[in-house]
Amino acid sequence: AAQGQSEPPRVGLSKLFPDGNFPEGELQEYKNDNAWRTTSEEMRYNEKMAMEDPEVTYSSIRRAAEVHRQVRKYAQKFIHPGMTMTEIAESIEDGTRALVEENGLESGVGFPTGVSLNHCAAHYTPNAGDTVVLQHGDVLKVDFGVHVKGRILDSAFTMTFDNTYDKLVEAVKAATDTGVREAGIDVRLGEIAAAIQETMESYEVEVGGKVFPVKPIENLSGHSINPYQIHGGKSVLLVKNDDATKMEEGEYFAIETFGSTGRGRVVEQGDCSHYARIINAPNAALRYTTAKSLLRSINKNFGTLPFCRRYLDRIGESKYLLALNHLVQQGVVQDYPPLCDVRGSMTAQFEHTILLRPTRKEVAKRRMAW
């Protein structure tokens, strides 16, 4: 465990970093020359101007990244076949809440702990009563978030317990690294997508004597992130497209790629667990008092951060399904069902959060010394 951290991780980071200085992420030079060549004085001025308040964003993201790093290291050690999905999700959440020193909407879990299995790529976390147990041959995507002052660190990795799908995992890791490397100020989203696709499609997986090309999942994407808003409106697709929208300095993105041995396309499948209040939802006159009180509880506990049914259970809500579905029908809350490729296929995911600083790109989750 990191110096001074317990096992399982429960020591809040203000104890380990009393001066509040968290390690900077890995710095990468921009590939193009759009970054400003400036003196340090001018750089500091530029950074101040470029973002709502760079110091808040940088220190918040770095603190969230350190929490993520320590929880991820523990998770990669303790997750094993035979554990239930609930045990896996809750131990990651317990570690996150303890290390980030969860405090209302000031800091806490960034969004539901995704533990999507096999042909399911995203947005699955167990609801109460889920009895699914992790199996030896499973391909598990662990996608969890930490936020500090609404700055969300969104990072994910894939775990396998035998080597059948090593080439799929390798393809997606390489494609995500390509996405991180190509990202930069003024870079077009469509160009990054083309580079991701090219890397992903240069791999194939042989399973039981049959060869499968690795396909990027064409309707999943990386995304920009805004304070308290997991999807900031810009999507980095995984297949080439002519989206000329550019990345802008001061933005930060979740660069994530998904590969599949199936159709390379996901559809909504299974019970929904993930929800989020829509940012500028019309405060529709809600007919049911149960819906009104549930919405008050969502606003108080999550704001516009994504949540799941287990998070409603733990804050003491009960018999909320009708009210929740009413809020979805009224366009106040968005539901995000599990996103799955065809049964029998396998999907993998890797994800980093990157900061587009005026002069250099910072890969928040990676440590310099890596």
Ligand X SMILES: COc1ccc(Cn2nnc3c2[C@](C)(O)CC[C@@H]3OC(=O)NC(C)C)cc1
The closest of 203, 176, 208 to 192, measured between CA atoms, is 176
Among 69, 123, 173, 277, binds ligand X (CB under 6 A): 123
Instruction: Give yes or no: 223 in active site.
Output: yes
Residue span binding ligand X (CB under 6 A) among the ranges 27-35, 96-104, 220-228, 279-287 = 220-228
Residues 280-309, mask of contacts with ligand X (x by CB under 6 A): --------------------------x---
* Helices 321-329, 289-301: inter-axial angle, 10-degree rounding: 90
Q: What is the DSSP letter of 24?
A: P
**Nearest residue (CB) to ligand X, 276 versus 340:** 276
Q: CA-CA distance, 231 to 53, in Å (whole number)?
A: 20
Residue 13 interacts, among Co ion, ligand X, none and using kind-specific CB cut-offs from 5 to 8 Å, with none
Q: Residue for token digits 């990345």?
A: 247
In angstroms, give the least distance from the CB of 114 to ligand X: 6
Among 26, 47, 66, 154, binds Co ion (CB under 5 A): 154
**Nearest residue (CB) to ligand X, 35 versus 153:** 153
Residue span binding Co ion (CB under 5 A) among the ranges 20-28, 91-99, 140-148, 192-200 = 140-148
Residue 221 interacts, among Co ion, ligand X, none and using kind-specific CB cut-offs from 5 to 8 Å, with ligand X
Instruction: Give yes or no: 143 in active site.
Output: yes
Q: Is the CB of residue 215 less than 8 Å from the CB of residue 201?
A: yes
Q: CA-CA distance, 245 to 224, in Å (whole number)?
A: 12
How far the first Cα of the chain sits from its last, in Å, is 16
Which residues inside 159-198 make contact with ligand X, applying CB under 6 A? none
Q: Which segments within the chain are labelled E, that is strand?
A: 25-28, 107-117, 120-122, 139-148, 151-160, 204-207, 210-213, 215-216, 221-225, 235-237, 252-260, 267-268, 274-277, 307-308, 333-336, 339-340, 347-356, 361-367
Among 30, 212, 336, 350, binds ligand X (CB under 6 A): 336
The bridge status of strand 107-117 relative to strand 25-28 is: unpaired
Among 143, 182, 251, 362, binds Co ion (CB under 5 A): 143
Among 69, 141, 223, 309, binds ligand X (CB under 6 A): 223
Q: Which positions are catalytic?
A: 143, 154, 223, 231, 256, 351
Binding site for Co ion (CB under 5 A): 143, 154, 351
Binding site for ligand X (CB under 6 A): 111-112, 122-123, 219-221, 223, 230-231, 235, 256, 274, 276, 306, 336
